Structure 1
Amino acid sequence: MRSAWVMKLKPGQEAEYKRKHDEIWPEMVALLKSQGVHNYSIYRHGLLLFAYLEKPDGAPEQTEAVNEVVQRWQAWMQPHMETHADSRPVVEPVELMFRLD
């Protein structure tokens, strides 16, 4: 399964967002891997973030609403990006238009 989406940074927060991802928590990495994620990349163009991940079909779904690690991560990242009131990032899915294997 492949997923892609876009998010937005707040102006002036590019460096701090990058720094925090350079220091990603081991428990966040463990959670992603436990869900089968094996390729997860986030790219930046200005304030626009483009995220892409791959995981096997049938892998466990993200349980953001109940996972404490995800909730702490989202609260930690909230000052740097556009979010909902509960700290979840504003995410807009993108449609696959072309793929070459």
Structure 2
Amino acid sequence: MHNTEEIAFVMYLKPGNEAEYQRRHDEIWPALSAALIEAGILDYQIFLEPRSGHLFAYQKRHNDHRVDLLPGLPIMREWWDYMADIMEVNPDHSPVVRPLDRVFRFPG
């Protein structure tokens, strides 16, 4: 039995903000990194498809993760506010996220 799960989702970058998005993530706040680890995220990768501005995100996390608690943390809300000007966001500044379904895995 696996003690981790993997998820993937898409977010959306506003045009012309590729370098700024990269810069902000290169300088991710230590308190935010700590919150992600505390929530049970083991691996978090984001890939940019430059022509569309789509951000493909992948997370590997513990089965008993507490990711659902992140939106209630002040550091998470602050990060969302910080990123809201360069991403498509919801009214609360959380990023617009669309989950992806796994259709292939190698090796299976």
Instruction: Give the TM-score category using the shorter length.
Output: over 0.9
In the alignment, the residues of structure 2 paired with residue 45 and residue 33 of structure 1 have an alpha-carbon distance, to the nearest angstrom, of: 26
User: What residue ranges of structure 1 are gaps of 5+ in the alignment?
Assistant: none
In structure 1, the partner of 2:29 is 25
Corresponding residue pairs, total: 101
Cα distance per residue 1:5-28 (max 9 Å; x no partner): 001110111110110000000001
Return the letter of the residue paired with 1:13. Answer: N
* Greater Rg by CA: 2
Residue identity (%) = 38
Cα distance per residue 1:54-83 (max 9 Å; x no partner): 011112233243110110000000011100
In structure 2, the partner of 1:63 is 69
Q: Post-superposition, which runs of at least 4 consecutive aligned residues in structure 1 deviate over 6 A?
A: none
TM-score w.r.t. the length of structure 2 is 0.88
In structure 1, the partner of 2:105 is 99
TM-score w.r.t. the length of structure 1 is 0.94
In the alignment, the residues of structure 2 paired with residue 24 and residue 65 of structure 1 have an alpha-carbon distance, to the nearest angstrom, of: 17
User: What residue ranges of structure 2 are gaps of 5+ in the alignment?
Assistant: none
In the alignment, the residues of structure 1 paired with residue 98 and residue 59 of structure 2 have an alpha-carbon distance, to the nearest angstrom, of: 14
